[in-house]
A and B are shown apart, each in its own frame.
Chain A
């Protein structure tokens, strides 16, 4: 856990110099949707919709605890998508649809706008 003093001095995405464990040389074959996410990020950059710094700021908004966790890579993709939609459709709308257990249920068919409002 990063101390409050540390948070005041550094961005939550700035890991440089922090204590950390052994480097596990993990790699994985990208799933098709992950590759599409990378391509989407590039295309949005080409169109000057979202640049690298903006993506980074979106990640910062995740908070230091999640950024430092093993869920970081998935969280990056999630935040990137949320940030993308907010930028193109910034007006807040109704809450996200939820399933019977209270979980958000984005719909591929029509859920884009709904997801945006959850971000």
Chain B
């Protein structure tokens, strides 16, 4: 076969450019073919429109932890917004122009010097996707899902987060209808920071609750 291809490409076939060899072609895997087949079938049966997947990919691409960080920073600088956020997370996010493309509610859990929150989904991978984007792999895999609810201090320690014994740890298990977002504590030394500077400090993992927000160069 390879010899045949080589012979073919040795021939002058009327145009001058390099042909990639068959070996260079990327062969789609089983799951990729499965996805394509399902999508084509759905379109063929008029159950979804041909452009809907592309449009939803654009939505997914627009959802990153930067949105959640914007929410957190606003809550840190605006007490009224913070109160509304804690009362109804979804409505407060929508105030900032963050739409919810699914039918989920959002509960925002505030970390304090007395309480540290951690979120998990023990059943699958429920996650506040409209404000954080898609979850990291470790959030969906067994070790985190299994252990977060029974030994959260040990789990947090594996992320380098040591919670003092006098601080209560609350683990919230997400559901299909209710998703959680952690409102981390504002770090000391940021009193003069503007909202954008604050947002730049807030990481995805801090909004899951596995790490605190820290100012670069400071000790956690």
Please provide the chain A residues from 1 to 47 with a CB less than 8 Å away from any CB of chain B in the complex.
Answer: 11, 13-28, 30-31, 33, 35-40, 42-47
Give the number of A-B contacts (CB < 8 Å). 167
Q: Interface residues of B, CB < 8 Å — how many?
A: 52
* Interface residue from B32, B140, B158 paired with A22 (Cβ < 8 Å): B158
Task: List, in ascending order, chain A residues with CB within 8 A of B35's CB.
Answer: 33, 36-37, 40, 77, 81
* Interface residue from A16, A45, A115 paired with B146 (Cβ < 8 Å): A16
A51 contacts B176, C-beta separation under 8 Å = yes
B39 contacts A18, C-beta separation under 8 Å = no
CA A59 – CA B124 in complex, angstroms?
A: 9
A40 contacts B39, C-beta separation under 8 Å = yes
Task: List, in ascending order, chain A residues with CB within 8 A of B34's CB.
Answer: 77-78, 81-82, 106, 115
A26 contacts B134, C-beta separation under 8 Å = no
B143 contacts A24, C-beta separation under 8 Å = yes
Task: List, in ascending order, chain B residues with CB within 8 A of A39's CB.
Answer: 53-54, 56-57, 59-60
Q: Interface residues of A, CB < 8 Å — how many?
A: 60
B136 interface residue, CB < 8 Å from A?
Answer: yes
CA A66 – CA B45 in complex, angstroms?
A: 32
B198 interface residue, CB < 8 Å from A?
Answer: no
CA A56 – CA B52 in complex, angstroms?
A: 23
A112 contacts B38, C-beta separation under 8 Å = yes
B33 contacts A108, C-beta separation under 8 Å = yes
B215 interface residue, CB < 8 Å from A?
Answer: no
Known A-B contacts A13-B124, A59-B124, A85-B41; the reply to A43 vs B146 at CB < 8 A is: no
Min Cβ gap B115→A in Å is 21
* Interface residue from A22, A35, A47 paired with B57 (Cβ < 8 Å): A35
Chain B interface SS verdict (over half) = helix
CA A109 – CA B39 in complex, angstroms?
A: 11
Known A-B contacts A39-B53, A49-B47; the reply to A20 vs B36 at CB < 8 A is: no
Q: Which residue of the partner chain A has the closest CB to B101?
A: A42
- Per-position binary interface string of chain B over residues 19-55, scored 1 when its CB falls under 8 Å from any chain A CB and 0 otherwise: 0000000001011111111111110110110001110
A95 interface residue, CB < 8 Å from B?
Answer: no
A106 contacts B33, C-beta separation under 8 Å = yes
* Interface residue from B38, B45, B126, B150 paired with A81 (Cβ < 8 Å): B38
Q: Which residue of the partner chain A has the closest CB to B32?
A: A33
A-B contact pairs, 16 of them (CB 8 A): A17-B146, A17-B149, A23-B155, A27-B137, A33-B35, A39-B56, A40-B35, A40-B38, A42-B102, A55-B124, A78-B30, A81-B37, A84-B38, A107-B33, A108-B37, A113-B41
Ordered nearest first, which 6 A-B pairs have the shortest CB separation? A16-B122, A112-B41, A52-B176, A20-B146, A39-B56, A112-B37
